[in-house]
Amino acid sequence: MGNLKHRRLRGRVIAAAIRALNFVTSKLPLPLLRALGSAIGHFGWHVLGRYRARAMNNIAIAFPDWTVRQRRTTVRNMFHALGASMFELGWLVNLDPHTLRRTTEIHGAEHIEEGLAAGKGMLIFTGHCGNWEWLAATVSLLGHPLTILQRDRDEPDFNRIIADLHEYFGMRTIGRGSTAGALEMFRALRGGGLLAFLIDQNIRAESVKVPFFGKPALTPIGPAKLAVRAEAPVMICFIERRNGKQIVTFQKPFTGTDPAEITARLTAAIEEHIRRVPEQWVWFHPRWKDRPKWEVSAPMRAIAADSSK
C-alpha cells in the first residue's frame, strides 16, 4: 500500500513537471527547443548508467560487427533524439495544417485512402522510432479518424497527459486491457477508421516469437489477430527527424490470413527502418526478453520466410 501511494505521489510530481515543461516548450521555436532537448538527452546519457548499459547490450545483439565506438555513438545520439522528442511534445499544440506543411514532409499519404477504400477500416502500425506522437498527430491532421491503443502506466496523471494530447487532435484512446477495449477496437474498424498500434516492444500480452535482427523476439500478436478477424488491411508507417524536419512515410497496405506471418512482416519492416536510422529507436527496451507465460507457438520457418517479403 505504501509503495502504491509513493508511485502515485511520484506520478503526480512527474506529471506536474511535464505540464510545466510543455507550457514552456509550446512557446519556443522548434530549433531552440530541440537543441535544449538534445542537451538534456546528453545529460541523460551520462547519468542514466543503467539504461545506457542496457542499450549498449542490445545494440551489440543487433549490430555484432560494429565497433564499440560505433555503438556508443549511436546510443549517445539516441539519448539526444529522445530528449528532442520529449521537448517536442509540448510544442505539438502548435501543429495545425499550416505548420504541418512547414515542418513535416509526408510520403505515401495516398496509401491511407487506398487501405480504407474497402470500408473495413485499417490497422496502422509503427515502432518507437522518432517522435511517434508527432506521427499520430500527422495522421489526424490529414483528416483520418484515429483510435490509439495505449498502455496504461502506473501513474494515472501521466496517462492523462498523453490522453489529453490525443484528444486535442481528435483521437480516441483505448487503454490496453480495458474491459470494453476489444469491442471499442472493432467499432473503430467497423466505422471505417484507423486503429493504431506500436508493435516493437516485448510486453505482457499474447505474443509470438519472430525474427528481429536475426534473433527470435516476442512480439504482440493480438493486433494481427484482430486484423484477420475483421478482414481489415494493415499498414506500417514511420517518422524520422532529418535536417530539421519530420519525415513521415506511409507504406502500401496489405492483408493476410496468418497473424504470425503478419506480425513477422511488420517486424521485418521495423527492423529495416531501424537499420536506416538506428539512433532514432529506443535501444534500452528489453526487446529479446523471454516471457514464457505470454508466448504462443508458431512455425518459425514459415515466419522467417514471410518476414523476408
Read off the pLDDT of residues 252-302 as tens digits, 9 standing for 90 and up.
999 999 999 999 999 999 999 999 999 999 999 999 999 888 888 765 444
Crossing angle of helices 68-91/2-25, nearest 10°? 80
Please check the confidence at residue 98 and state whether its pLDDT lies above 90. yes
65-74, 125-134, 199-208: segment of lowest average pLDDT: 199-208
Alpha carbon distance 261, 307 (integer Å): 7
* pTM attached to this predicted model: 0.90
pLDDT of residue 54: 97
Phi, psi of 224 (to 5 degrees): -70, -35
In 3D, which of 22, 24, 30 has the Cα closest to residue 243?
30
One-letter amino acid of 128? H
Residue 156, pLDDT score:
66
Cα–chain-centroid distance for residue 253?
18
Please give the tally of structural domains in the chain. Answer: 1
Mean of pLDDT values over 57-86: 98
For residue 88, what is its C-alpha cell?
517536442
Cell numbers linked to 3: 509503495
Answer for the pair 198, 268: CB distance below 8 angstroms, yes or no. Answer: no
**Domain carrying residue 283:** 2-307
Is residue 291 classed as helix, strand or coil in its secondary structure?
A: coil
Contact predicate 86/40, CB 8 Å: yes
Cα gap 100→138, rounded to integer Å? 7
